[in-house]
């Protein structure tokens, strides 16, 4: 399915201003909660699961949530950094832009977006305590829009990744970063959705949030109310195209996988079939007599690739991978990318009523992350 690429902006893009309406909406939400609790207490109702004598007081939940925000912001702020990228030009240095990052280990490992530091000749990292350090670009991965930096400094504070637990739709989150040059700004919202695509990277599994994200937030953390990083803020819907209150963050599970590889070798190695794929509609599949769950169809097998050598042909629907049913294009691409080069996989291919299985040995995906 084709998507309108102009609808999305990376959160580091210049000139994008997000309407500052989230605070008002959050305030109304808390007021409504407080009023609702007040009515319940006035009517003599008890909160579920509490003892008879323990009743909620008006505003108690709102105050508790507010204190949680304050505590999380204070604990995570020292781990959030401002990133400035510069490029050498004609013997001089010019600014490329600025973004945010989050310290993931006390030895100076920092995660940010690849588009924040790509093609930079120098990267400067500023800490919340006023220190500023030149950073080494350890590696970047354009396919996921992630990069890893390292700084040499003492007394660093890190933020933990919540990589083993998926974000839950509806849970409260904070976005922390440096939007529009405002250092360590904090916005609040909820997780609005999961598994989103914005057509800005090869591999996408975005968390959607309504926490306000603006230029300069790119690379900063989206955190839960325990101060754990659940995502790296990356993009925002374009208000000019009708988008409002829609931001996207790379989930912590993906961040953990990519950062681990980049920190170890400076690059990410992925399996590669050598096909151009499309995701088709239910109507398309049904019209061709296909009744399975897959919506992944081969558009073209590139010459000289494993898919071409195995005889994969355009128009075939990829029904299964190693016997497991295929669903969405995003999920299928992620499954192949997680496999190592040299892995032999079996594809079940369907065209009309014809079904056949082919085996192919994955090559290494060409890595654009060397393009800085």
Convert the chain into a string of H (helix), E (strand) and C (coil): CCCCHHHEEECCCCCCCCCCCHHHHHHHHHHHHHHHHHHHHHCCCCCCCCCCCCCCCCCHHHHHHHHHHHHHHHHHHHHEEEEEEEEEECCEEEEEEEEEEEECCCCCEEEECHHHHCCCCEEEEECCCCCEEEEEEEEEECCCCEEEEECCCCCCCCCCECCCCCCCCCCEEEEEECHHHCCCEEEEEEEEEEEECCCCCCCCCEEEECCCCCCCCCCCEEECCCCCEEEEEEEEECHHHCCCCCEEEEEHHHHHHHHHHHHHHCCCCCEECCEEEEECCHHHHHHCCCCCCCCEEEEEECCCCHHHHCCCCCCCEEEEECCEECCCHHHHHHHHHCCCCCCEEEEEEEECCEEEEEEEECEECCCHHHCC
* pLDDT beyond 90 at 278: yes
Average pLDDT over every residue of 2-8: 43
Complete domains list, the chain, with CATH: 22-77 (no CATH), 79-150 (2.40.10.10), 160-265 (2.40.10.10), 271-370 (2.30.42.10)
pLDDT in tens, 295-305: 999 999 999 99
Identify the pLDDT of residue 262: 96
pLDDT in tens, 60-81: 888 888 898 999 999 999 999 9
Mean pLDDT check: name the lowest of 240-244, 284-288, 316-320, 324-328.
240-244
pLDDT in tens, 159-216: 999 999 999 999 999 999 999 888 889 999 999 999 998 888 888 899 999 999 988 9
Arithmetic mean of pLDDT over the chain: 84
Identify the pLDDT of residue 152: 95
Q: Which residues are catalytic?
A: 115, 145, 218
């Amino acid at each position: 399915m084709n998507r309108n690429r102009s609808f999305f902006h990376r959160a580091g893009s210049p000139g994008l201003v997000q309407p500052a309406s989230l605070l008002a909406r959050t305030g109304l939400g808390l007021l409504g909660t407080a009023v609702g609790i007040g009515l319940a207490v006035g009517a003599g109702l008890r909160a579920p699961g509490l003892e008879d004598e323990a009743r909620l007081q008006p505003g108690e939940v709102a105050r508790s949530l507010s204190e949680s925000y304050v505590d999380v912001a204070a604990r995570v702020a020292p781990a959030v950094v401002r990133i400035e990228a510069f490029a050498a030009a004609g013997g001089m240095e010019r600014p490329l832009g600025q973004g945010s990052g989050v310290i993931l280990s006390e030895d100076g490992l920092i995660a940010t977006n690849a588009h924040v530091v790509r093609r930079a000749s120098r990267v400067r990292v500023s800490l919340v305590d006023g220190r500023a350090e030149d950073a080494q670009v350890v590696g970047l991965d354009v396919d996921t829009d992630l990069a890893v930096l390292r700084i040499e400094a003492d007394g660093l504070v890190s933020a933990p990744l919540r990589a083993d637990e998926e974000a839950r739709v509806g849970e409260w989150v904070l976005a922390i970063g440096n939007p529009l040059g405002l250092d360590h700004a904090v916005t609040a919202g909820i997780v609005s959705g999961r598994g989103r695509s914005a057509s800005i990277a090869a591999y996408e599994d975005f968390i959607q949030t309504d926490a306000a994200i603006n230029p300069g937030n790119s690379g900063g953390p989206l955190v839960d109310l325990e101060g754990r990083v659940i995502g790296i803020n990356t993009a925002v819907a374009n208000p000019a195209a009708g988008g409002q209150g829609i931001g996207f963050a790379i989930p912590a599970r993906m961040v953990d996988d990519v950062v681990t590889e980049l920190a170890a070798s400076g690059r990410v190695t992925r399996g590669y079939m050598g096909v151009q794929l499309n995701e088709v509609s239910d109507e398309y599949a049904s019209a061709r007599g296909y009744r399975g769950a897959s919506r992944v169809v081969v558009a073209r097998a590139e010459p000289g690739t494993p898919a071409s050598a195995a005889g994969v042909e355009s128009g075939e629907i990829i029904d299964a991978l190693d016997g497991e049913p295929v669903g969405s294009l995003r999920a299928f691409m992620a499954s192949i990318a997680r496999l190592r080069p040299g892995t032999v996989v079996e594809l079940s291919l369907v065209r009309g009523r014809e079904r056949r299985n082919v085996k192919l040995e994955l090559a290494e995906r060409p890595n654009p992350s060397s393009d800085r």
